[in-house]
Structure 1
């Protein structure tokens, strides 16, 4: 049984990093604005909080759906993860000039929501597959917070070259986990 727990921890860790890749990527762009370290700290915590709330909502709804639909739920969850990963991969190649909201007040909430909305869908699929909720939420929150801080800090120092690659990496990981759930 400890091997199963370790396997789930590793899988959830990779998934958390993949979900946080969006926050890292967008953080690179926002970090290119001049931001004080205090603002970077607040942005990271806010994104981390949203990466806990959104998958929690998804997990709750996913548990309900899985109790109603049983076997179909795991395949649907895998397909959902794969779809999110593909969307991340495709959007990484569609690079239009984007205007960033200033990350304060409503702009901060919209930013945090935009980079965590995919974690709702991942939570939905995890709720259907019966994962360990506390572990998933903890890892998602920590990874999103850390990667947001990292993206913002690197964005202060560098240009946006890494943003595309982090999104491709994150999308690839989500696709892989989606296929793992489907074919299992």
Structure 2
């Protein structure tokens, strides 16, 4: 696989993380570059590891993983997004409160895992090609770090516009990503 093909693959893999990070950034109280980079590194690190795991699994049992990855991603994203929507509505019903300064590592890592399961499936597919999986995984991780960091920083400007609805909007974005992942995998069977 050429470097251009690897870069295109990496950018494609990072789009879900960008959208999720955009929602995460919008839900925070004016996140700075440090928080954006923290989020980007968490997303990028997990997105770098998942194709490696997928590649290793692909060498052993690809058909079992690819049959379920979209369902796991769907349920994780719908759960996380639904939780964000509920929290957002609780905030709008109650008296206004300040958005958080940062998301917990667990929330970011869970979101990152959910958005990177497609990279796991890609890793499974890469096991059958002549690719340097280390270079490919590092490129995917780097692209995701940049895209997720940018997503949080852009979300910083969207958050004040959305006000108290930022968390609801971020949750809806996560649910939409989960539904898209599921529909992309089920479309060939319709």
TM-score computed with the length of structure 2 as normaliser: 0.60
Partner residue, 2:146: 146
Compared CA separation, residues 53 and 130, structure 1 to 2 (3 A): closer
Equivalent residue in structure 2 for 1:22, among 8, 20, 25: 20
Asked if 1:82 corresponds to 2:78, the answer is no
Asked if 1:166 corresponds to 2:173, the answer is yes
Compared CA separation, residues 26 and 139, structure 1 to 2 (3 A): farther
Compared CA separation, residues 20 and 60, structure 1 to 2 (3 A): farther
Q: Distance in 2 between matches of 1:46 and 1:162?
A: 22
Compared CA separation, residues 137 and 24, structure 1 to 2 (3 A): farther
Compared CA separation, residues 151 and 166, structure 1 to 2 (3 A): same
Compared CA separation, residues 120 and 171, structure 1 to 2 (3 A): closer
Equivalent residue in structure 2 for 1:175, among 153, 161, 182: 182
Partner residue, 1:70: none
Task: State the Cα distance separating 1:139 from its structure 2 match.
Answer: 5.3
Compared CA separation, residues 39 and 128, structure 1 to 2 (3 A): closer
Corresponding pairs, count: 165
Task: State the Cα distance separating 1:115 from its structure 2 match.
Answer: 2.2
Q: Which runs of 4+ in 1 moved over 6 A?
A: none
Structure 2: which 5+ runs fail to align? 89-98
Q: Distance in 2 between matches of 1:143 and 1:173?
A: 21
Any residues of structure 2 matched to 1:28-177 within 5 Å, and which?
Answer: 28-29=26-27, 32-66=28-62, 73=63, 76-87=64-75, 90-91=78-79, 92-93=81-82, 95-97=85-87, 102=102, 107-108=104-105, 110-118=106-114, 121-130=117-126, 132=131, 133-134=133-134, 137-138=137-138, 140-158=140-158, 159=162, 160=166, 162-177=169-184
Structure 1: which 5+ runs fail to align? 67-72
